[in-house]
Amino acid sequence: MDKLAPIPALPLVAILRGLEPERAAEVAQTLFDAGLRIVEVPLNRPGALQAIATIVRMAPRDALVGGGTMLSAADVDAVHAAGGRLMVAPNCDAAVIARARQLGMLAMPGVATPSEAFAALAAGAHALKLFPAEVIGTAGLKAFASVLPAGTGLWPVGSITPGSLAAWRAAGAAGAGIGSQIFTPDLPIAQIGERARAFAAASAAAH
């Protein structure tokens, strides 16, 4: 089993849904230059595995790269083969979590209820993706934190902005996943960098 990759100091996951493989290096470098170190490429768009492999080859040593929307053990195997060491899913599937752990990947399944959260932890999840965060809200996150084991990493994903990041962190979020607020396939590279820097600054201010 591979050694489990540590979570980088800047606790933001850049979710690159729809990233074209030919843009992967440029987009990832822009994010890394802005200070981000966690990159997730969801598998439910074409070219995701190629994009992950490209990013892994040029990522800084302290970066954590992986796949999102990982719904099966086969998805886990494919991302691991591409060099990914992070497993993110929108749901809680014990078999997917178990396979990620077997391969030494950091397992972050998605949960929306306390029952799912406890099931994910029982299956071996290292951290929990709270999804969709806009439905759960900061009050919901506080409620999760009040009943889950101390130290459980809660990462809200969904409609989080630089302006709302501090409220999420104050509510107990360990980090956050950022999708279209940082990246969409049609966004110019300069704007991606601008958005990434805004999130990095907001995260630093929220500590």
Instruction: List residues with catalytic annotation.
Output: 40, 129
> How many residues belong to the chain?
207
* Rg from Cα positions in the chain: 16
Residue of 174, 47, 54 whose CA lies nearest to 39: 54
For the record, the structure tokens of 43 come out as 């598998």
Amino acid letter, residue 79: V
Distance CA 16, CA 67 (A): 9
- 133-147 helix and 114-122 helix, angle to the nearest 10 degrees: 60
Closest CA to 108 of 122, 91, 95: 91
Give the C-alpha distances (Å, rounded to integers) separating 94 from 37, 62, 107, 188.
27, 28, 11, 38
- Among residues 125, 136, 121, 193, the alpha carbon closest in space to that of 167 is found at 136
What single letter denotes the amino acid at residue 177?
G
